[in-house]
Amino acid sequence: MTPEQLIFAALALPLAACVACVVFAKQENLRDGLTLIASIILLVTVVTILQQYQAGAVVEASWWNFSPGIAIAFKIEPLGLVFALVASSLWIATHIYGVGYMRGNKEKKHARFFACFAFAIFATMGIAFSANLLTLFLFYELLTISTYPLVAHKETPEAKAGGRTYLGILMSTSIVFLLTAVVWTYVISGTMDFKPGGILTGKTDAAFMAILLGLFAFGIGKAALMPFHRWLPAAMVAPTPVSALLHAVAVVKAGVFSMLKIGVYVFGVDNLASTGASQWLMWLAAFSILAASLIAMQQDNLKRRLAYSTVSQLSYITLGVALASSMGAIGGGLHIVTHAFGKITLFMCAGAIYVATHKTEISQMRGLGKAMPFTFIAFGIGALSIIGLPPLGGSWSKWLLMVGAADAGQQIMIGVLMVSSALNVAYLLPIFGQAFFDGSAKSDGKGFREGLKEAPLLCVLPPCLTAAGCLVLFFYAGRIEEFLAPIVLGGS
């Protein structure tokens, strides 16, 4: 296949899976099997694109050219390719897990659920491969719309309210702020195409650039930067596979990926460093990192604690942009990968616990580790990666962010990252500890202490595999760092 055909295949495969979910709605084994096949072929397609890109091919494609400089177009570059690899590989794990969860928990309307899920992956691929701001904006909006039915899937009053909050915040911020920023950027630069070094370099002054950066930062609501973060904990009313999609595979990763891509290709690392336009964003990201961690410590509901943890961890990536240093940007790119594997592990474990025990509160989970050892060991590994302990992948991305802060002369930000890691320990490790070592735990009368009472295999195997991925990433983080290096070509 030609490079152009490969891009279209990467977009068409999740769309085909979406259609299959609708056509074979009542034939669940065929429907879910076809979706699994599509997810595997998508990963193979993205890997093939990677191989062609590494061989020196220019991989790009265009759908519609509305006028000079305004088109729906796609182009492969390192940051987008890394994001596409993460999303396509984790779609496989999340789909397998979703089948086990939806059936094990006896959820309704599976066909609609998996159709929207597949469409969200289609939108994610469009964001990953976008060649300009217009393409990124259109697929960003499609991702919001396609995930709304997933958030409100249970159709309870609580789910509908969570869905309204989700849709209201994400749509309003993107239309009011992001669209304004996109149009303004085109007026200033005369183009929407992403370019190494930034299309705004030399086009405007520092004060105006800071304002424009603010429009992008708050317009990309999926990055969950405070104060536009409430949609994320509100969306925790959704089934756990959706939480995994939101936090690891697509939505929030699309937000911070967009933030990083705009920082690198629209503003430029050197440009941000020389103008100081991102200084305010650095402090806001630091506040979000610490404030969200403190809020997480107060949550007894496991999914809400993990949701606020995600708000904090996403701001690491925003901080990487705002530091305006090469290592900061690369560290942010690597954190997209390591956080994805760590956080999806934690959310899938939370879902497995719910399927097996119907427990949602951390205070209810004392002693469960002896009945669900595979689930809680996977949880412990994911937690340690989020904390940043070797030999797990999260240690490298946090290290690079600290190096980026040192390069930028921001010692306080190094302290923020260190304090944040200590807070990670405080709100994650007690969950693991009380599951195995809480001597006060009593049998709940349902036999959990008498033997293994794990969730169904399809709910346990995926988090075990993603936990193993956290370990593998420790040894391959250097290769990812080298692959991402060209995104800051000419950066400081």
Q: What is the DSSP string of 311-362?
A: HHHHHHHHHHHHTTSHHHHHHHHHHHHHHHHHHHHHHHHHHHHHHHH---BG
Q: Which residue from 184, 125, 103, 174 is spatially nearest to 145, judged by alpha carbons?
A: 174
> Exposed/middle/buried for 162, CB within 10 Å: 0-12, 13-18, 19+?
buried
| 295's tokens | 């809020």
Q: What is the pLDDT of residue 259?
A: 95
Return d(Cα 478, Cα 450) in angstroms, integer.
44
Strand 70-75 versus strand 60-67 pairing type: antiparallel
In one-letter notation, the amino acid at residue 178 is L
Q: What is the pLDDT of residue 41?
A: 97
pLDDT by residue, tens only, the chain of 492 residues: 788 899 999 999 999 999 999 999 899 999 999 999 999 999 999 999 999 999 988 888 887 777 766 889 999 999 999 999 999 999 999 999 889 888 877 778 888 989 999 999 999 999 999 999 999 999 999 999 998 998 888 888 988 998 899 899 999 999 999 999 999 999 999 889 999 889 998 888 889 999 999 999 999 988 888 888 888 888 877 777 777 766 667 788 899 999 999 999 999 999 999 999 999 999 999 999 999 999 999 999 998 999 899 999 999 999 999 999 999 999 999 999 999 999 999 999 998 999 888 898 999 899 899 899 999 999 999 999 999 999 999 999 999 999 999 999 999 999 999 999 999 999 999 999 999 886 554 545 544 445 678 888 999 999 999 999 999 999 999 999 999 999 987 544
pLDDT at 246: 67
Contact 318, 227 (CB under 8 A): no
| Nearest alpha-carbon partner for 193 in 181, 201, 185, 204 | 185
User: Tell me, what's the pLDDT at 450?
Assistant: 54
DSSP, residue by residue, 279-300: HHHHHHHHHHHHHHHHHHHT--
Q: What is the model's pLDDT at position 418? A: 96
| Structure token digits, residue 452 | 């293994």
What is the rounded CA–CA span in Å between residue 39 and residue 130? 20
State how far the Cα of 49 lies from the Cα of 313, in Å rounded to an integer. Answer: 29
Structural domain boundaries in the chain: 278-492
